[in-house]
Amino acid sequence: MNNKRQNKGLEYKGEESEYFERVVQVNRVSKKTKGGDRRSLSVIVVVGDRKGKVGVGLGKAQEVQSAVKKATNYAKRHMIDVPLKGRTIPHHILVKLGAARVLLKPAPEGTGVIAGGAVRVVVEAAGIHDVVSKILGTENQASNVYATLEALKRLKKVEEVG
């Protein structure tokens, strides 16, 4: 029985692994060449173990499955450790990355994940159960995913915060 929560994003149903994988965005891209247009797909995938590790990958290929596989492999190789304080994050943080601004705040146990689509996927993949967030800048999902990842990178451990 699959107990993964369904979101607006696509669920990648490849080989079963210990990682939570979610396709955040599929984008058609094209390149002009002298022989005509070359069309391909660009895919952003979020991968996490739900125990404090998360990664984001971008893959491009002619088919969705190939692009997802490339993005997943990249995300798994470039995972970051997220400091947790129980079921939440140790302190609040506001990150601006390009046009994206993301605010993450710790929440009391039982609050749940109060976050928009792109932020929710990254936070759930990292294994954070109680957090409040707000997307302040752009509505671009790709930018918001990368800004959320940067916010999680900049978090300090509980001992460092005091």
> What is the β-pairing status of strands 131-135 and 113-114?
parallel
Instruction: Evaluate whether residue 96 is within a structural domain.
Output: yes
Q: Which domain holds residue 94?
A: 82-161
Round to whole Å and give the CA distance between 26 and 71: 11
Our measurement of the distance from residue 53's CA atom to the centroid of its chain's CA atoms, rounded to an integer in Å, reads 11
pLDDT in tens, 131-146: 999 999 999 999 999 9
53 plus 114 within the same structural domain = no
pLDDT given for residue 128 in this prediction: 95
Q: Is the pLDDT of residue 119 over 90?
A: yes
Task: Evaluate if residue 61 carries a pLDDT over 90.
Answer: yes
Q: Is 114 exposed, middle or buried (0-12, 13-18, 19+ CB in 10 A)?
A: middle
Average pLDDT over residues 79-101: 95
Residues 102 and 143 in one domain: yes
The tens digit of pLDDT for each residue in 17-26 reads 689 999 999 9
- Binning the chain into helix, strand and coil, the percentages to the nearest 5 are 25, 40, 35
